[in-house]
A and B are shown apart, each in its own frame.
Chain A
Amino acid sequence: QVQLQESGPGLVKPSQTLSLTCTVSGGSISSGGYYWSWIRQHPGKGLEWIGYIYYSGSTYYNPSLKSRVTISVDTSKNQFSLKLSSVTAADTAVYYCARDTVTTKTFDYWGQGTLVTVSS
């Protein structure tokens, strides 16, 4: 059973960089066939896809966030990470990591989510 777990600071100051890590267990990121994604949910709102990374390091980002997002992978630790720069209060959200099947673009496993608040 694949499990994903987000970790990182729950509070980030405005203009700083939000950094989160997703640790994958029960399966290898390097096995291929899956993209590893970040998705966020603003308080009381819907889901917003941020971007994904393949184990090879290739990435694709939501065009609306592309200028501020970097997703990286560490296959030796079976982890992938999100960096979102120049954050504002509008980036306050629950951040989820998820596994995404390459063939059908389906998020079949999700982390529990972590709330990140942007505030001074």
Chain B
Amino acid sequence: QSVLTQPPSVSAAPGQKVTISCSGSSSNIGNNYVSWYQQLPGTAPKLLIYDNNKRPSGIPDRFSGSKSGTSATLGITGLQTGDEADYYCGTWDSSLSAGFLFGGGTKLTVL
């Protein structure tokens, strides 16, 4: 069970909007930057969002990130069938068992 909590799955129709939440604590999300990764089937994860809300070059503005307190959210608008993937949040944890943490992942289904 991950320290960062994500919903196991979300779904929406093409063209719609979906949000994926990531809940943590003051030792991780509350005091560190959050990043988001997309993992298409059979491929390596790919960086989508860094520093809570920044997009790397080449990532469309349909993808957005936000953070409030000890939670973060990934938003995807204008859903496409190609967005079907697993999505992971990640952040550093500054507790006694410090290290980088990933959320358990969320499977996005575009109906």
Taking the closest CB of chain A, its distance from the CB of B106, in whole angstroms, is 10
- Considering only residues 32-51 of chain B, those with a C-beta below 8 Å from chain A are 32-33, 35, 37, 43-47, 50-51
CB-CB < 8 A to B92: which residues of A? 105
- How many chain B residues touch A (Cβ–Cβ < 8 Å)? 26
A64 to B100, CA, bound (A): 12
A96 adjacent to chain B (CB < 8 Å): yes
Contacts of A37 in B (CB 8 A): 100
The verdict on A108 contacting B104 (CB below 8 Å), with A47-B45, A60-B99 known, is: no
Chain A, interface size category, equals: 20 to 34
A37 vs B32: C-alpha distance when bound (angstroms): 18
Interface check A43, CB cutoff 8 A? no
Q: Across the interface, which residues of B come within 8 angstroms of A112, CB to CB? A: 43-44
Besides A96-B45, A100-B100, A105-B92, 18 other A-B contacts (C-beta < 8 A): A37-B100, A46-B103, A47-B37, A47-B105, A49-B99, A49-B101, A61-B99, A62-B100, A63-B98, A63-B99, A105-B33, A106-B35, A106-B47, A106-B50, A107-B35, A108-B47, A112-B43, A113-B44
